[in-house]
Structure 1
Amino acid sequence: MSFKRKNPGNQSIRRQLTFYMGLFVVLPLCLALMLLNFYLQKVTTENKINNETDLLSQIRDNTDQMIEVTNYATSMLMTNKNTLKNLRILEQDGDSYEIYQAKRELSNDISDVESSVLNAVGGKVAILTKKGYMIGSYTLSRTETNYEKEQWYQEILENGRKITCSADIGTIFQEMTIYDNVQKYFYMGREILDYSGKNLGIMLIRLSEKKIWGKLATSMVTEEGGALYILDRSNDILMAYNEKYQKQLKELREQETVKEISEDEIMTGNLKDDFYYMEAC
């Protein structure tokens, strides 16, 4: 019986080949894959940020355009001679035919604005007089609530004809029974002034976000993560997408960068997940 002796030189060569292949082939390849993965992640992140920044810009542009159109339409209605005449009539007490006719004409004028200029954005308009008359395209009644005590009401008076945005304005549309809990709405208000500067009431506007920027906002927010908040100049929430980040927003509002937000600047923040906020009004 004979045994074939292994050549130790062959084993040494094999080890050396394995070592050099690992050092000069496998290791560089692994490093290259790591660098490629890092680069792809960076590019993906940058593209995502650029895409969502573009979406925010579109939302902001749509908001500006919507406010401008609404401002024009309501200005025409507020300064109309017939509108001011009917509002002066509604300052009277009583339940005369003249008062009913004034309410009817105001309601028709509101309906005309809603069905023409504001139709594209699902707009609804309401006039609340000092005597508590609540006039809409389908509403001719008195309110049961003293809205003069509300903060949003006082802000509208302070800002005069300048548009005031507040989510709390929605309460009056709830009372008018033209409210939808499923949809989100953007609310604005303006003071109605006589030629002499005397207050004759306030005008309230409700616009459908679905027809303005709904699809853009939805594409940014998913159930897994992401949030978008639209704030007013006081950093109060006008509209929220993905409300589970309310706590984060509360913390965010205390930051100086949010307090100093400018009218033309789109601010973006990133907390735990993609989290965006912007001033719209």
Structure 2
Amino acid sequence: MPTSDLNLSDTALHADLAELRTRFPETRALYREVCGLLFFCYGVTPTANKLYSLVRKGSMGTPAEVLQQFWQELRGRTRVTIDHPDLPDALKEIAAEAVKTIWQAANEAASSELSALRAEARHAAHMAESERDAARAETAAAREDALALSAQLGEARQAHEAVQADLASERQAHAATQAGLEAGRAELEAAGRQLAELRTQFSTELERAREQVQIAQERAEAGERRALRELDQERTARQKSERLAEELRAELAQARNEAREAVVAHAETRARLEARAAALDCSLGVGKAIFNLKKGIDAGIHRD
């Protein structure tokens, strides 16, 4: 693969780099492994700039030194030397060239197989990236749904808290109502007992009243019978009284007539008596004058 085809944002490449960072924490060893990764796994010719852009550790001279050492080791591996005491030098060169050719052919075959594997890996990586993008979209949608659900959950919590507050108020009101109900039941029981006592007392008093009414009724009937007898007696007495009144009226009329006659006679008698009194008064006046005269005469005589 040419150097220009290297995708620095390749997911597989970054995954391999992350694994190498964990396995080779030393800077020069990490640069050396990254050189091998680029050349043998991705078919990219490593450069100092590429290495530093991927590793970003140490100074710029470090990837250059490691890259030079990598090329020297690679050339040493591709040079095949055959040392055998019985072989002439020309045969040794032919054998070395043959082994080199075999190694290069094997390396090319491995590179071809590696390219196919690399293509499959890229396709898998591409599919993984697509799945990753889809997963990210789904994650974003899930986050939005989660935010919506969180908002709904907040509203539900607020509603739940409001319901809990209302429930607490209702519980307090229920407790107060229950206490009032218990007090009402106690008062009702007390009123029931008092009502039972009143009913007993009322029954007793009612029985007494019935007895008193019975007695009063008997008394009333006896009084009525007595009143009827007295009424009959009164009627008889009234009849007698009426007859007696008639007799008395007759006697009163007679007495009035006699009284009138007595008044007339008394008036006549009074007139006669007054006339006689007047006459006596005159006689008495004359007598007094004579007496006084006589008394004066006697007095004069005694003075003499």
TM, length-normalised to structure 2: 0.20
Q: Which has the larger radius of gyration?
A: 2
TM, length-normalised to structure 1: 0.22
* Higher RCO, 1 vs 2 (CA within 8 Å, ≥6 residues apart): 1
